[in-house]
Chains A and B, each alone.
Chain A
Amino acid sequence: MRNAFAAALTDFGETHSTLVMLAGDIGNRLFDAFKDRHPSRFYNCGVAEANMTGVAAGLAASGLRPITYTITPFNTLRCLEQIRLDVCYPDLPVIVVGTGSGLSYAGLGATHHSMEDIAVLRTLPNMHVVCPADPIEVRLALADALRLGRPTYIRLGKKGEPVIHATPPAFTIGRGIVVRDGGDIVILSVGNMLATALQTADQLQGQGVCAQVVSMHTVKPLDEELLGAAFAAKKVVVVLEEHGLAGGAGSAVLEWGNDRRVDLRKLLCIGGPDRFLSGCGSQLQARELCGLTAAAIVPRILGRLA
């Protein structure tokens, strides 16, 4: 996802003359192509995220289109008040990009895990929370965020994630993408869990359960039409996210469903626990620790259907 972001950034630098890239002393060599082509529009802001976010707001207030970029917890929680007051309050077109979200950097320890960012950022008025599923969606998300021109948070994984979409799908912030059809249940997959969601659907197929799989890349605003159809037609609605259960995408659906009086007994939220993780090892091992693998998810869905 990182490389897809850097490539898209370089291309959009050509088409968007006001795009300005701010990095928090990260991405060594990653942005060389952008820097070469647009030297006056790349700034290494150092390890100072509060200032970087304030600078972005000042640029946006002056008609430019800044993007802030660093490791997710540092670009969200560390500078949360700057995002809240400098960006969201005046509704400025700043794009906040977090890299290494969720458990992408599992082995780096809890300092670098990001299991709270969706929960926190979706509470901010005017903010849009976008979690692309694969490198293809990363480019599409960035393009649509630039079209939108509002405060937008883009939650990236790391590098090397599989490409899932064979061709670029239609992508609009706030509209989910149906990746696989199925009539019995639906798995609303958030961000980088899409490959796991598809594996889960494959395994369910072997058990006689047809699962629809959706890339629910936008947590705020939710795709209400898609949710309405899901709760009307499916026996189980699974929300799958590499994020803590408290306040995450599942919580957002829960709040929505409570407001709309849908049958929330159908909802199954699958996410991380309410504790700091340690001794994780790799991202895959960390997901095993949290029950975020197809092997762990399938029995839970079957249990709901029993």
Chain B
Amino acid sequence: MTDTNRLSSIALAAQFRARVVSMSHAAKAAHLASALSCMDIVALLYHSVLQIDPLRPNWEDRDRFILSKGHAAAALYVALAYKGFIDEAALSTYGQAGSLLEEHPTPKLPGVEAATGSLGHGLPHGCGMALAARIKHQSHRTFVLMSDGECNEGSVWEACLFAAAQRLGSLCAFVDFNKWQATGRSREVLALDPLVDKFKSFGWDVREIDGHDHAQIAHAVQHVSIHAQKPTMVVAHTVKGRGVSFMEDDNNWHYRIPTAAEVEQAALELCGRVNRLPLVLA
């Protein structure tokens, strides 16, 4: 973040948000509010944390990022375009026939580490990548971003047991805790609370943060390394639909598609202008 010519991660997140709102409208693709709630985490990681190289997408010692809540794919795509893994022009093909930018990520797309979209797959996959780093004496870290609804899946808890048993210190998972899942409050659908205590009791190093505060996000992951003794779980309190006033904490936007007028209003709120800015590349 020392490079003053670069957009701050906060400004970047606003730009990303405006872009995914317009992508949702163009593709008539759902899950917009899910993409907005995790956008600060995605933006901060791709802006300042992940050691990755678009010229070498398969570089062996790259940091891994798995968007386990694959339905927020648009959030990943704008970040991959920002880093140069895909052309910015490709974003306009989101959800179109012939495009690899499907509504859930495919590993055929450069920069996508795992096929996600069926919930509960990312954390076991990430455990394997973190274990591989140890076996191969590499130093990369593995980051997995999950939703709170995803924690309904038993495989998440299987992976929590495994990561703690193997002391996978290079593994860091986030829960985008926006308090909603598809059809209801995540605390009510299943007994998710107390989520922080659950992960602590599973043997993880748990950090509870405001998932929209970039300094807190950066601080929560700075210790993650192959030398750490425990895997890290960041329980990030977020607001579904964050950044667009008429979408915030309204679960209708799990599936709703914004109109052209709503796209303009969102852009005005997020970037102070109606017309879309070209994405600033890293």
Chain A residues at the B interface, C-beta cutoff of 8 Å = 20, 40-41, 43, 45-46, 48, 50-64, 66, 81-82, 85-86, 89-90
Contacts and interface: CB of A to CB of B under 8 A. Distances in A.
B128 A85 contact: no
B224 interface: no
Q: Binding site of B, secondary structure by majority: helix, strand, loop or mixed?
A: helix
Given A61-B113, A61-B129, A46 B162 contact: yes
Nearest to B130: A58
A20 B135 contact: yes
A59 B106 CA distance: 18
Nearest to B128: A58
Contact of A56 (B123, B128, B134, B166): B128
Interface stretch (B34-42, B152-160, B231-239): B152-160
Interface stretch (B114-122, B242-250, B255-263): B114-122
Given A51-B158, A57-B114, A62 B128 contact: yes
B161 A43 contact: no
B128 A82 contact: no
Given A46-B161, A61-B129, A63-B60, A54 B124 contact: yes
B128 A55 contact: yes
B54 interface: no
Given A40-B134, A58-B127, A63-B132, 13 more contacts: A45-B162, A48-B158, A52-B124, A53-B124, A55-B131, A57-B114, A57-B128, A58-B114, A61-B125, A62-B129, A62-B132, A85-B118, A86-B115
Contact of A58 (B60, B115, B118, B129): B129
Contacts of B123: 54
Interface in B76-133: 106-107, 113-115, 118, 120-121, 123-133
A59 B128 contact: yes
Interface residues of B, number: 31
Nearest to A64: B132
A54 B165 contact: no
A211 B202 CA distance: 60
Output the residue of B118, B123, B128, B134 with the most chain A CB within 10 A.
B128
B143 to A, nearest CB: 13
B219 interface: no
Given A46-B161, A61-B114, A85-B118, A51 B124 contact: yes
A36 to B, nearest CB: 17
Output the residue of A43, A61, A62 with the most chain B CB within 10 A.
A62
A54 B128 contact: yes
Contacts of A60: 128
B108 to A, nearest CB: 8
Contact of B155 (A43, A54, A58, A66): A54
Contacts of A56: 128
Given A43-B131, A45-B162, A61-B113, A54 B136 contact: no
